Chains A and B, each alone.
Chain A
């Protein structure tokens, strides 16, 4: 009993010293909340349902639901092994590789999109070679995936790398000495122990991919995904025209975030 009351009083003792950071933090929170609430206030339920059932909106939703998971999958399958290598080794030029991983995060997506175009656009060697066998790398769903992956993959790589870094290497050594090779050690020990961080990274990557606009607009303005559809609708009809799709996009992201956290039993993304 005395223990509990003491810890309570200790908590309240800490309040004054936390007052200033708490106030500063509150200002950011308010700034986050106001636009959100204001935007939601323009919602009319009936209008939203009708708008979302139009063919144009349906196509955009379908395209986004198709491309974002694929981009996330690609980023995870290739990014997690890279994260593991970066967490476990040091080599000459590692800083350069790390800078390369962060590059898509720090350049504006629209510039990233332009860069992708210069690499795989229709008149580049890669783009024309692909076109020759009937694959269009731009203005196609493949183009959307390429743009999304470019912009969103760093999230899973960076978070998974931190996750692997937090796994004590001696746990892997013990597994090796207990008779497991490097691959099964990765699968049995490293991967499960870094799971929380990897899941957090997957969520961030998915959220970034499904909301991707800048690079997608450059690489594949058509077929429309939800973000490009929102842009087109906004140009034509202003804010009110985009409320339904924006809400749907928000809804999808929230559902995925909740579902992944539920199955992955991760408390919150930020805790990781």
Chain B
């Protein structure tokens, strides 16, 4: 492994910022460290780079313990959210800066600078000062500067978050291309799940200073290991239920029962659980005000609102058990106030055991993403 974090813990004063964070990066991997802002991502990056000394745990680079080594001895490239280009140096001086420290021969210096400026497609700008470049160009110079000394690991800490959406997508593809070409082991830190899923081979989801799940984007999306991953990666409908019986697994939701054949859970009968289901996996069928509870895998509810988001309708429904659902409808959505049946997919319901009896049943559906 190129990079390995072993039970990394850090506190600022009394505040525990990260706790027992362990993960590793294999050579050439592009891994996204994903989590909401304030979850401890930046502290993890700072610890890997050596700008923060962890309270406990180890950082290993190429199997060498570097936890107590200063940043300059680590060979880690860093790109931050804000530009850190040196305003008093030209583009080529900025790129050459890291090369000089690594003792590159002066005759090879120019060649290497040109090579990396070419990689980021900025050969023309070598004599320009950073202030003369656009935001996207500055990002690319930073990439070139971080990559030129050929670091063991490249840390990208929210590198695209300060850019507008279009440029962000463009540069994201640029990063993928550059990473692919150089093969540099990369840790890409972001709070944007779409960005992380589009770019990374593997995701590490951080919540509240802990690793909440890790795996390929598809695995994490389809079978989230924790409620947090379920609601953070893509949109999720959450509703509480009680295990009514096993074999077949039957959930009691309000006064209705859901039968999920071929499903098992370790929760015992009578236990409270939280169920997650993705909006696209739900289907709607109209129902009269009185009935429509024939399906063992459907819930009745009233349409609260309908939002037209261009490519589809987001239909918000309040079930008679009091839970809120968002259902995606492609055409002819129901009217608000109408009673409808929400058909639940038997195989796509993820069940989590409740940690406590007062599990917050407020629904947390992330903002609409197109």
Contacts and interface: CB of A to CB of B under 8 A. Distances in A.
Sorting the interface of chain A by its residue count into under 10, 10 to 19, 20 to 34 or 35 or more gives: 10 to 19
Among A173, A174, A188, max chain B CB count under 10 A is at A174
B84 A173 contact: yes
B97 interface: yes
Given A173-B49, A176-B50, A181 B84 contact: no
A168 B84 contact: yes
Given A173-B49, A189-B86, A193-B87, A178 B80 contact: no
Main secondary structure of the interface of B (DSSP, over half): loop
B98 interface: yes
B102 interface: yes
Given A179-B149, A192-B88, A174 B72 contact: no
B78 interface: yes
A180 interface: yes
Interface string A167-187: 010110111111111101000
Contact of B101 (A179, A182, A192): A179
B87 A179 contact: no
Contact of B76 (A177, A180, A181): A177
Contacts of A171: 84, 86
A191 to B, nearest CB: 10
Contacts of B84: 168, 170-171, 173-174
Interface string B69-93: 0111011111010101011100000
A192 B97 CA distance: 14
A179 B51 contact: no
Nearest to B74: A177
B82 A173 contact: no
Interface in A123-182: 168, 170-171, 173-182
Contacts of B74: 177
B145 interface: yes
B78 A173 contact: yes
Among B78, B102, B145, B146, max chain A CB count under 10 A is at B78
Contacts of B145: 178
B70 A176 contact: yes
Contact of B82 (A170, A176, A189): A170
Nearest to A181: B72
Contact of A177 (B71, B82, B88): B71
Contacts of A170: 80, 82, 84
A238 B121 CA distance: 73
Nearest to A193: B88
Contacts of A178: 72, 97-98, 101, 145-146, 149
A179 B101 CA distance: 5
B87 to A, nearest CB: 7
Nearest to A173: B51
Nearest to B79: A174
B265 to A, nearest CB: 47
A144 to B, nearest CB: 37
Contacts of A181: 70, 72
25 contacts: A168-B82, A168-B84, A170-B84, A173-B80, A175-B97, A176-B51, A176-B70, A176-B71, A177-B49, A177-B50, A177-B51, A177-B72, A177-B77, A177-B78, A179-B72, A179-B75, A179-B98, A179-B101, A180-B72, A181-B72, A182-B70, A184-B101, A192-B88, A193-B86, A193-B87
Counting from the closest, the 6 A-B pairs by CB-CB distance are A179-B101, A178-B98, A176-B71, A174-B84, A177-B78, A171-B84
Interface of A: 168, 170-171, 173-182, 184, 188-189, 192-193
Interface of B: 49-51, 70-72, 74-78, 80, 82, 84, 86-88, 97-98, 101-102, 145-146, 149
Given A189-B86, A192-B88, 16 more contacts: A168-B82, A173-B49, A175-B97, A176-B51, A176-B70, A176-B71, A176-B72, A177-B50, A177-B71, A178-B72, A178-B101, A179-B72, A179-B149, A184-B101, A188-B97, A193-B88
